[in-house]
Amino acid sequence: MKDITFSINLGLIGTEDSRLDIFIDYLKEKAFKFTSENLIYEFNLQFEGIPMKLKIAIANKFEDLIHRIDDFKHFDAIITAVNIYNDNSISNYTLQEYTDFRNYFIFNGISVLVGVDPFLAFHKEPPNKRNITEFTLIQKTKELEFLYCFKIQDIKKDISDIFNKVLNYINLKLKFLNPELFKRAKSNKDEFNG
């Protein structure tokens, strides 16, 4: 009987100052194995006893993910990160662009907007004024019709919360779509670790 590992495709979107590297660094710490090439990362990891292969495409905008059709036939999750000190980082994303992306991939996965505070995340004194407030993040989440909104101030805790929410959502979806396959995947976790 073939071992089961769930493959998950994630789009990680953000401008250069959105600090997408903190997401990748977090996953490198959690993974048993990882590879990277041309802004595509693959992580072998386990979440709640389920072996997973997480494949991530790094992009500046939704349209960039459409150009990755050779590498990604679908996406299970989207995380869009914005630097809360850069007004332009949040205005780059529109409902029309997200709708185009959803229609192209027939996307019905989990979508997350993340406000990154690079100063607090790296324990530096922040400027007096944040250009993007919590209210702005919530409004943008609603405007884009995303499911969740987070803010990163503590790298370890906040990124862990985000990935727990995303992977838990995907786990539940897989569990309900195919309970037998889900059970088989959970039972082969020891072989995956080896």
Rounded Cα distance, 85 and 63, in Å:
24
pTM score, two decimals?
A: 0.87
What are the φ/ψ torsions at residue 130 (nearest 5 degrees)? -90, 130
Q: Which tokens sit at 103?
A: 């229609």
Q: What is the pLDDT of residues 127-145, one digit of tens each?
A: 666 678 899 999 999 999 9
Q: What is the pLDDT of residues 11-46, one digit of tens each?
A: 999 988 899 999 999 999 999 999 999 889 999 998
Do the beta carbons of residue 5 and residue 192 sit within 8 Å?
A: yes
21: exposed, middle or buried (C-beta count within 10 Å: 0-12, 13-18, 19+)?
exposed
Q: What is the pLDDT of residues 152-182, one digit of tens each?
A: 988 889 999 999 999 988 888 877 766 676 6
Domains along the sequence of the chain with CATH: 6-193 (3.40.50.300)
| Extended strands (E) in the chain | 6-14, 33-37, 40-47, 50-59, 77-83, 110-116, 148-152
Q: How confident is the model at residue 190 (pLDDT cuts 50, 70, 90)?
A: very low
